[in-house]
Structure 1
Amino acid sequence: MTDNNANNSYLSDRKPRSHFATRREYLEHELQVMAPRRWRPNLPFRDYRFEWEDLVPAMAATIGKVVMVAAIVAAFAGPLGLSKEFVTENVRFEMIIAALLFVILISGFLNPTSNLAGTHGPLIPMIPLIVASGGHPMALGIMIGVLGFILGITRGGSLLARLTSNGVCGGLLLYLGFIGVTSQIGRLFTWAEGFDKGYIAFVVVLLTIVMYAWLEHVKMRWLAIPLGSLIAGVVAFALGAPFEFVTEPGIPNMNPAYWWGETTGWQLGLPDIYSFMAVAPFAVLAVAMWSPDFLGHQVFQKLNYPPKTERVVMDIDDTMVSASARQVVGTALGGGNIASSWGTYIVPAAIAKRPIAAGAVLTGLLCAATAVLGYPMDLAVWPPVLSVALMVGVFLPLLEAGMQMTRKGKTTESAAIVIFSSALVNPVFGWSLTVLLDNLGLIGCKERGKELGHIGRWIIPGIVFVILCVVMLAIGMFPGIEPMVDAFRVD
């Protein structure tokens, strides 16, 4: 926890832009002199300042929020037979909840080392199975929140992070980055070929590559999201891609009784004990996925921030606590989002060398404005804008960070194994298996495992691996093996 002398140092230690030869030096100095107050009020201009670079992660986060929450809610709505209008209204509701109650309040004012609570993308493919198993969105959300809170307050998240070597983490970043880039390119071509103009996707991606390379050359990569989104949108529209604004301004229903009514909102009523039993294995897996995800975000900050900035790097456990609180409150109020660390915010913020707090306030304001205005939501989910923003703002930087982490030491073996095993099942399997093998000294640095002791070397990694395998076996995530989820099904 930061001491009082450090808390009072920001105003006395900071220097104006005119004292530095470059803006990069100014931004790095800002990071070095900031002293966030953990779970105490942090005020703009006293504890941090706003810079125009903060708009970049705020814009990226808003685009990502619209897209990811829409994907989560739509995945629930399809099997439940809910309309497109329901999805739109629930997304707007979720964005207002996230903006006003958590993004601004927690990450902007109460704990600037807690990353924004975003959306759990990897869980989206499992939602139809959750619904088919008798799962209830409220039961799932509350159970994830409770489990995540327990992991956060016991410092379990940071413990698992310490047990993960650079090779494992670097390989995980490489895998996630590569899979993300290829999937977005595939989605762009699928979209363009849907109206017989596949060449639009080719032109958009080619221009994105050239733009990204140029920004790297002039050391202005933090502009990749707004500039890339603008170029993609203008070029696609100029080449004849269809687009129209359809979401009108408005405010969603803010009454929880409406959302959890039996004939309104989700049309499910309140969950019973069987609903909680049905979602239990999925909730365990969702929280287990947090550790490698949160670790990747923290490492990305460390790779992009200058030395002596430990005080402004995100705290994994505090982020878990805030994400859990956001999950429980958001779910109880009627939202369908599943929370996680906000990747589309923290990655561009790290590239722009900005702390969490200032951009968090701007993100909250942009999310609230987008939800009320409606029309920006249409632009954010338009495929060329969406895919390019995710590629240059999240997945390409993850690839670069993974390459940096696997350049030194005996890291390539661990990186290769985590990629191999992630491709076999999924990243959480690859991470848990490779951490166990790496800490046992079977791969990677043999000396590192000897320094961890029995608990860190095989007891904790072994327990985590076994628990996750049991959960994944129960819900059918192992290729070629039938799920045992019928044991949780409600007739």
Structure 2
Amino acid sequence: MNMRQHEASKTPADQESETLSGQKSYQALHKPSSEFSSRDEYLEHELQIMQPKRWRPNLPFRDYRFELEDSIPAMAGTIGKVVMVGAIAATFAAPLGLGEGFILENVRYELLIVSIFILLFSGFFLPTANLAGTHGPLIPLIPIVVAAGGHPMAFGLLIGAFGLLLALSKGGSLLAGLTSRGVCGGLLLYLGFIGTISQVKKLFAWAEGIDMTHIAFIVILSTIVLYALLEHYKKRWLAVPLSCLLGGLLAFSLGAPFEFKTAPGLPNMNPMYWWGENTGWMLGLPTLESFVVVLPFAVLAVAMWSPDFLGHQVFQKISYPERTEKVQMNIDDTMFSASIRQTFGSLLGGSNFTSSWGTYIVPAAIAKRPIPAGAVLTALFCIIASIWGYPMDLAIWQPVLCVALIVGVFIPLLEAGMEMTREGKTTQSAAIVVFSSTLVNPAFGWSLTMLLDNLGLIGCKERSAELSQMSRWIIPLVMFIILTGVMALVGMLPGIPALMADFRH
């Protein structure tokens, strides 16, 4: 077929998929994996030829393909989702006097809610928006919110509103641009180190609880050896499923108790049930006072998005090859999709408070896969886990859960942090981030170090000198003051009583 015949044979969909710059479409540029000398080369080529379209349909096989590697982040993301939503629901349930039945049913409900928004945004209309996951750093604040009389719907709606304002003003990408490699690297190091330690402690605590402490040691040691072997053979993207399989089989064979308890079924899909006075949350609808109470917590929750989103984007940049900027996570689009998902999730009665989905994006970056295909599979896995029920029991079993988070999220974050602080004048900034994050939390550490770094007091002095006055100190100072003020208001600064109690009285 000559060139004219080929052009004439194109369907309208093919012609639409040609880019405005005259480049060939993804379909035209795609080559089978057999034409490449290695699997890595094929996957990198796929990242380089993709042409994601914002607010226009991105269709499977026309704009992206499904690969075996997509199933790994989808599996890791689903495990992380069950665990994190369960943690938030449980943290709310205890002070409100709600039982395990509420927790289980709300987690199943949230899995179905999130699957719709994954497909709508990350899989279809915003292919560079990372999936809207769960706001893990917010969990310690929830008991304070409940004690202050905060209403979960009011809290979620304000997070959605503030997140939408930040996304539409492109504030997220602005703050990311003002954050140096040293600050990013230190943030990743802190999150990776703290996360790894916490999961090791949790696994040992679980093993001690069943009087089989040796199981935790054997599982972790075996996971270390497996991870090293996968690194050696350049198969690190298989770390999550193989580690989960190894951890689960070892623990069970050594006598650890496990049984499937969650039977197949559907949660109550009626929002009025969840927001009834005698059903669901048993709180009824929020009042104006409910919104006033949660206002500072909502500001803090959205302010904490920026370092979270930035860490995930940076990890992608480190893992992806050159000429893949167009398929990398867009911070503002991610904030937009997270805000919309939060708003509707809260209206429907879900317990989730959202952020960028780390247990999905980190394994996806390691596997060198773009967001959309894995997003579709994650939605499918979430639906299966919710309706089938039994996978939820396996996902929250400690030997499976802990090793999945260690090898799928926290160790890769450590590696990325070390990579970012390897060159240039980055170690000072990285050390200050870790130091100040240990003092309060990562949001405080990020905002303080960004201010010091941009002023030129630490880090690269040449970079500081090139910044405008607005970027050098005005925006970082305003961000630090807002964050620190809100933390003081809700009692998050060590040794300083919460100021909000004084205001309320």
CA pair 7-130 structure 1, distance change in 2 beyond 3 A = farther
SS in structure 1 at match of 2:352: coil
Aligned counterparts of 1:397 and 1:137: Cα–Cα separation in 2:
33
Could you report, residue by residue, the CA deviation over 1:368-399 in whole angstroms, capped at 9, with x for unpaired residues?
A: 01000001000000001000000000000000
Matches within 5 A, 1:472-487: 472-487=487-502
CA pair 275-370 structure 1, distance change in 2 beyond 3 A = same
Could you report, residue by residue, the CA deviation over 1:191-217 in whole angstroms, capped at 9, with x for unpaired residues?
A: 000011100000000001000000000
Question: Does the 8 Å CA contact 2:437/2:446 hold for their aligned counterparts?
Answer: yes
Residue 64 (1) aligns with residue 80 (2): yes
Could you report, residue by residue, the CA deviation over 1:16-50 in whole angstroms, capped at 9, with x for unpaired residues?
A: 11110011100000000000011110000000000
CA displacement at 1:485 relative to structure 2: 2.6
Match of 2:25 in 1: 9
SS in structure 1 at match of 2:290: helix
SS in structure 1 at match of 2:415: helix
Residue 314 (1) aligns with residue 329 (2): yes
CA displacement at 1:326 relative to structure 2: 0.1
Aligned counterparts of 1:258 and 1:4: Cα–Cα separation in 2:
49
Which residues of structure 2 form unaligned runs of 5+? 1-17
Matches within 5 A, 1:159-178: 159-178=174-193
Residue 260 (1) aligns with residue 266 (2): no
Could you report, residue by residue, the CA deviation over 1:133-178 in whole angstroms, capped at 9, with x for unpaired residues?
A: 0100000000000000000010000000000000000000000000
Matches within 5 A, 1:27-426: 27-99=43-115, 101-426=116-441
CA pair 6-213 structure 1, distance change in 2 beyond 3 A = farther
SS in structure 1 at match of 2:355: coil
Question: Does the 8 Å CA contact 1:225/1:393 hold for their aligned counterparts?
Answer: yes
CA displacement at 1:487 relative to structure 2: 4.5
Aligned counterparts of 1:489 and 1:98: Cα–Cα separation in 2:
35
| % identical aligned pairs | 68
Moved more, 477-486 or 242-251: 477-486
CA displacement at 1:3 relative to structure 2: 4.9
Question: Does the 8 Å CA contact 1:278/1:488 hold for their aligned counterparts?
Answer: no
Question: Does the 8 Å CA contact 2:19/2:25 hold for their aligned counterparts?
Answer: no
| TM-score (structure 2 length as normaliser) | 0.95
Could you report, residue by residue, the CA deviation over 1:306-354 in whole angstroms, capped at 9, with x for unpaired residues?
A: 1000110010000000000000001001101000000000000000000
The one-letter amino acid of 2:164's match is F
CA displacement at 1:7 relative to structure 2: 7.8
CA pair 488-206 structure 1, distance change in 2 beyond 3 A = farther
Which residues of structure 1 form unaligned runs of 5+? none
Question: Does the 8 Å CA contact 2:237/2:367 hold for their aligned counterparts?
Answer: yes
Aligned counterparts of 1:3 and 1:26: Cα–Cα separation in 2:
22
The one-letter amino acid of 1:181's match is T
Match of 1:441 in 2: 456
Aligned counterparts of 1:4 and 1:202: Cα–Cα separation in 2:
56
Pick from 456, 459, 468: which aligns with 2:474? 459
CA displacement at 1:183 relative to structure 2: 0.4
The one-letter amino acid of 2:277's match is E
Aligned counterparts of 1:80 and 1:52: Cα–Cα separation in 2:
43
Aligned counterparts of 1:51 and 1:424: Cα–Cα separation in 2:
43
Question: Does the 8 Å CA contact 1:136/1:279 hold for their aligned counterparts?
Answer: yes
CA displacement at 1:5 relative to structure 2: 4.1
CA pair 7-289 structure 1, distance change in 2 beyond 3 A = farther
CA displacement at 1:79 relative to structure 2: 0.6
SS in structure 1 at match of 2:81: helix
Aligned counterparts of 2:71 and 2:270: Cα–Cα separation in 1:
32
Question: Does the 8 Å CA contact 1:134/1:489 hold for their aligned counterparts?
Answer: no
CA displacement at 1:4 relative to structure 2: 2.8
CA pair 306-478 structure 1, distance change in 2 beyond 3 A = same
CA displacement at 1:105 relative to structure 2: 1.4
Question: Does the 8 Å CA contact 2:188/2:413 hold for their aligned counterparts?
Answer: yes
Aligned counterparts of 1:489 and 1:120: Cα–Cα separation in 2:
27
Aligned counterparts of 1:335 and 1:195: Cα–Cα separation in 2:
33
CA displacement at 1:450 relative to structure 2: 1.4
The one-letter amino acid of 2:112's match is I
SS in structure 2 at match of 1:219: coil
Match of 2:11 in 1: none
Aligned counterparts of 2:210 and 2:131: Cα–Cα separation in 1:
37
Moved more, 472-481 or 158-167: 472-481
Structure exhibiting the larger radius of gyration computed from Cα positions: 2
Question: Does the 8 Å CA contact 2:448/2:480 hold for their aligned counterparts?
Answer: yes
Alignment length, in residue pairs? 488
Aligned counterparts of 2:342 and 2:496: Cα–Cα separation in 1:
32
Could you report, residue by residue, the CA deviation over 1:451-491 in whole angstroms, capped at 9, with x for unpaired residues?
A: 1111000000000000111100011111111112324669x
Aligned counterparts of 1:319 and 1:268: Cα–Cα separation in 2:
31
Aligned counterparts of 2:216 and 2:22: Cα–Cα separation in 1:
51
Could you report, residue by residue, the CA deviation over 1:276-314 in whole angstroms, capped at 9, with x for unpaired residues?
A: 111111111110110010010001001010100011001
Match of 2:483 in 1: 468
Aligned counterparts of 1:410 and 1:196: Cα–Cα separation in 2:
48
The one-letter amino acid of 2:486's match is V
Aligned counterparts of 1:115 and 1:40: Cα–Cα separation in 2:
17
Residue 23 (1) aligns with residue 39 (2): yes
SS in structure 1 at match of 2:323: coil
